[in-house]
Structure 1
Amino acid sequence: MFQRRNNPDLPNMEAAPRRDRPLFASHLLAFGLVVLAGCSVAPLPELKPPVPDAWRNAPAGVTPPSADLRGWWQALGDPTLDALIDRALRNNLDVAQAAERLRAARSVNHHSRDGYLPSLHGRTNDVIDPDTTASYFVVGFDAVWELPLFGAWQSAKRASQGQENSASAALRGARVSLVAEVSRRWIELRSAQEQARLLGGIRDALQEKLRLVQVREQLKLAPPVEVAKAQAELARAEAALAEPQQTIIASAQQLAVLLGQPEPDPEWLTPGPQPRLGEWQLTTAPADMLRTRPEIATAEADVLRAAGELGVSRADIWPHIGLGASLQWSTNILSNYRVHTGEAISSFGPIIDVPLFDWGQRVAAAHVKDHELKAAVYAYRQAVLQGVAEAETAMGDLEQLRMREDASQRAVAALDSSMAALRKRAELNLGSHLDVQDGLIENQRAQLELTSAIAARDLAYVSLYKALGGAPMPNPPVPAPKAPGTGSTD
């Protein structure tokens, strides 16, 4: 650095400088900085998601317009489920963690370029001469500004913006998973309660059948083997009751965890109507899956972050150029003889940090980041393929389960007519009460199959909208104030 010593006791030994030399040096420095600043960041890799032109497993006639995924669970027609999802979005701890991480990422992103702003350091020091004839108190200021050349400014912003986008996608993913999981657990809970009710009816009918068979056996109208068969059927029915009860307990406890509370609400354990899509059909297939699916948004954010890190590593290969200034003032605080007690020294000039012996290591680091960027692009393409596959599978499942539910509904309707006929014949003494119990058992089993079909279709509906990135999309839960003086992300 060029230093000038300001000492009023020293004579002015400098010759009159020529005025054109500083002007020429300033213009040369400015021209060099402009040229270096022109080495801007490399363009982002183009992302071409391999998506199909149309959904292969969507029902015939379904067109892919824009999708509105707000409140998709309301198609299940269960106000209690709507209230549970609202509570879960407010109280779930996973969502709260993701929101805090997003706030942290945004705070870092707002100051991502501060490292390339001028910095000022102040210091004080007591300097004692070796001859112990004087002691000086020194006050100084150092100012350094490393110029953000070779795309370092934009690359640092990209890397930080990628981190924020990734945190935002994580929050989105937490909300999507939460809504889907609450819906799934509630469907399983209500379906298990309905299954328990139907299995209880089958058990009661089998008990009555066993009684009738025992009477017939006492009257020598049925062999003992018929009694044994009826007893075995009753035992299997009683054993089958354990499975829905286990589902009820597990689903209720998981719902409590999802809502951020230690125990389930007592009213959950009271049987209620089963959520059902009813006449709902898939009439539109969302085409903007890439915008809403959190896994794809995360992969895209990773590409942006990797591109920023690559730019920073490439900029680190070249010399670091900056401007520096220093001002130091000292005074003699202890002396054995009278001397001048105040002096000031200032300096100003460019700072150049040239990598020499570690240059190869920096180049290798840049190559590493280049490969990581390519890997991030491949991961993005894989995320898109996975999203398309999950959506196609869910669409196919939903359509097949709709047909299964319709067939089960027709079976129940047919058995209801048959049951009415059996009861009428029993009233006219044209049929036995044993036939009535057999018909009742068959009818209850058909309703049990219908309950399972309804639950399977509901769960396929949940899986579809989870695959499409479905979740409530209200105003962002985390405010994103714009940092002063910031514009676009690059």
Structure 2
Amino acid sequence: MFSLPYFATRFSVSAVLSLLLAGCVTLNTPELPTHTPNSWSETTSKTAPAIALHSWWQSLQDPTLNTLIDEALAANLDIAQAAKRLESERLLTGRWQAPYLPTITGSVRPTQDVAATDMYYHASLDMMWELGLFGALDNSKLSARARTFQAQATEQGVRVMVVADVVRHYLDLGLSQQQQKLLYTQLTVDEEALALAQTRQRAHVGNPEESTQAHVRLAQTRAALAMEREAASRSARALAVLLGRDQPDAAWANIQRPLQVPAFSLEELPADLLRTRPDIHIAEAEVLQAAAQVGLAHAALYPRLSLGGSFLYAYNTTQNMRTSTDSSPSVGIYLDIPLWDWGMRRTRMEANEELLDAALLGYRKAVLDGVSEVENALSGLTHQKERVNALQSSEHALQQQQQSQRTLLSLGLSSRYDQLLQQRALLETQSELLRARASHTLSFIALYKALGGAPLPEAAATKDVTP
């Protein structure tokens, strides 16, 4: 590449006009592969109310949970970090045109003439203004806006994750506390059953195997209780981290009631994921960024046209310091033409085109992943509800059996030991029912996380970036 200044002549004006006309290219952005199914394969209630996507957790009707999410949105460190990165990108985007604005530089340096007889001090003032032809200007703008769009989508993705994680850990904490209550009751039952089994063995009514089994059941209950305590502690600490706290709140030790999925209808369609899922927005930003890089590489194949000027002041310090001065202003057009490295530039553009194709494939993959996640969550809601119904039926049958056992016991036709075994079976079923209900709620959480449900930042309305 060489640089050649052209001064204001008829030829230079014609050359400039030709380059300006050739450099006025249209910004080329690819069409996104946005095909999605027309509807979900799993259906929800047609008569139940729809749930607002940006406040979906409020449908669980738990004031404590609502307060925790409000606190997390205000104090979560991941959200704060993503917000700072977004603001940084916005500041840089506001200066995207800086390389294409006039620049002025000054310098002072000593120099010597060719004959090595005189010494000079040169003071110069230089101005340069690159015009950004052949799409360089527009693609630089697109690149900057794509980075900001990606940072904005990343921040929203963090908000979606934080909201879902707060609900999930709150659910897990409540589940562990409810399981502990059942296990404490079960522990009492197992201790009494072990004592009765040992009494039956001493009275030669029972056998040693009964005592062994009763001892194993008691040990298993104690182990399960220890696991639930650990799970509760882990969930409470995870919740504290999400809220930006050093320690869990003591008030979390007694969650009043479990979270239950309300009846609802789903108004969002697969096509809505294109505007609600942050990861699809991130993939879109990557496509736009790749398209901008292709455009910039294409612009690099052509000459760079700049307007420039300089003012040189030369002071002779050898012959006469007081009178030997010289100055020469110049204004003109600078043309940089790629010659020897044009092939490398062409290869770079072709490589960027391959990266653009890869970004388009990534966008398509993000859309497919989004649809799949929603479908899996809807399927989970359906099947976990069936599991809950089956366990509720089992619980009802065991409760009736326990009532019959009480009647037999009062008539002397059954033993307290048999009654304890049936009570334990009922407690185990109730424990499994709690887990099934929690899994049903987890599918509900997964559904609205997959849909991109979370509050939009307050600044979104005024600082929204859409490339």
- TM-score of the pair, normalised by structure 2: 0.89
d(CA) in 2 for partners of 1:132, 1:365: 45
1:447 counterpart (407, 430, 434): 430
Kindly tell me: are residues 183 and 311 of structure 1, through their superposed partners in 2, closer, same or farther at Cα, counting changes over 3 Å? Answer: same
Tell me the alpha carbon deviations over residues 270-308 of structure 1, each in whole angstroms, 9 at most, x when there is no partner. 232343225434443444112111211111000000000
d(CA) in 2 for partners of 1:120, 1:220: 105
Kindly tell me: are residues 27 and 360 of structure 1, through their superposed partners in 2, closer, same or farther at Cα, counting changes over 3 Å? Answer: closer
- Residue 393 of structure 1 is matched in structure 2 by 376
How far apart are 1:390 and its partner, in Å? 1.3
- Residue 319 of structure 1 is matched in structure 2 by 303
d(CA) in 1 for partners of 2:51, 2:254: 34
Establish whether residue 414 from structure 1 lines up as the match of residue 397 from structure 2: yes
Establish whether residue 251 from structure 1 lines up as the match of residue 251 from structure 2: no
How far apart are 1:323 and its partner, in Å? 1.3
d(CA) in 2 for partners of 1:144, 1:198: 78
Establish whether residue 466 from structure 1 lines up as the match of residue 449 from structure 2: yes
Establish whether residue 260 from structure 1 lines up as the match of residue 244 from structure 2: yes
d(CA) in 2 for partners of 1:204, 1:337: 110
Establish whether residue 174 from structure 1 lines up as the match of residue 161 from structure 2: no
How far apart are 1:39 and its partner, in Å? 2.6
SS in structure 2 at match of 1:160: helix
Establish whether residue 35 from structure 1 lines up as the match of residue 21 from structure 2: yes
Establish whether residue 210 from structure 1 lines up as the match of residue 206 from structure 2: no
Moved more, 124-133 or 376-385: 124-133
- Residue 18 of structure 1 is matched in structure 2 by none
Moved more, 45-54 or 334-343: 334-343
2:312 counterpart (307, 316, 328): 328
d(CA) in 2 for partners of 1:2, 1:449: 84
Instruction: Verify the 8 A CA contact 1:327 1:345 in the aligned structure 2.
Output: yes
- Residue 141 of structure 1 is matched in structure 2 by 125
Aligned-pair identity (%): 34
d(CA) in 2 for partners of 1:50, 1:132: 74
- Residue 110 of structure 1 is matched in structure 2 by 94
Tell me the alpha carbon deviations over residues 385-421 of structure 1, each in whole angstroms, 9 at most, x when there is no partner. 1111111111101111112112222332333343344
Alignment-mate amino acid for residue 310 of structure 1: V
Moved more, 430-439 or 284-293: 430-439
- Residue 45 of structure 1 is matched in structure 2 by 30
Kindly tell me: are residues 62 and 306 of structure 1, through their superposed partners in 2, closer, same or farther at Cα, counting changes over 3 Å? Answer: farther
d(CA) in 2 for partners of 1:378, 1:385: 11
Establish whether residue 95 from structure 1 lines up as the match of residue 79 from structure 2: yes
d(CA) in 1 for partners of 2:449, 2:247: 27
Kindly tell me: are residues 208 and 263 of structure 1, through their superposed partners in 2, closer, same or farther at Cα, counting changes over 3 Å? Answer: same
Instruction: Verify the 8 A CA contact 2:33 2:360 in the aligned structure 1.
Output: no
- Residue 9 of structure 1 is matched in structure 2 by none
1:270-419 alignment to 2 at 5 Å?
Answer: 270-287=253-270, 288-332=272-316, 334=317, 336-337=319-320, 340-419=323-402
Alignment-mate amino acid for residue 329 of structure 2: S
Tell me the alpha carbon deviations over residues 47-87 of structure 1, each in whole angstroms, 9 at most, x when there is no partner. 12231111112347599x99731221223332222222222
Alignment-mate amino acid for residue 352 of structure 2: K
Moved more, 407-416 or 244-253: 407-416
Instruction: Verify the 8 A CA contact 1:194 1:271 in the aligned structure 2.
Output: no
Alignment-mate amino acid for residue 359 of structure 1: W
**RMSD (Å), alpha carbons:** 2.9
Structure 2 unaligned residues grouped into runs of 5+: none
SS in structure 2 at match of 1:70: helix
How far apart are 1:326 and its partner, in Å? 1.2
Instruction: Verify the 8 A CA contact 2:51 2:266 in the aligned structure 1.
Output: no
Alignment-mate amino acid for residue 70 of structure 1: H
SS in structure 1 at match of 2:352: helix
Instruction: Verify the 8 A CA contact 2:187 2:221 in the aligned structure 1.
Output: yes
d(CA) in 1 for partners of 2:202, 2:423: 24
Moved more, 464-473 or 384-393: 464-473
Kindly tell me: are residues 106 and 478 of structure 1, through their superposed partners in 2, closer, same or farther at Cα, counting changes over 3 Å? Answer: farther
- TM-score of the pair, normalised by structure 1: 0.86
How far apart are 1:219 and its partner, in Å? 3.7
Alignment-mate amino acid for residue 75 of structure 2: N
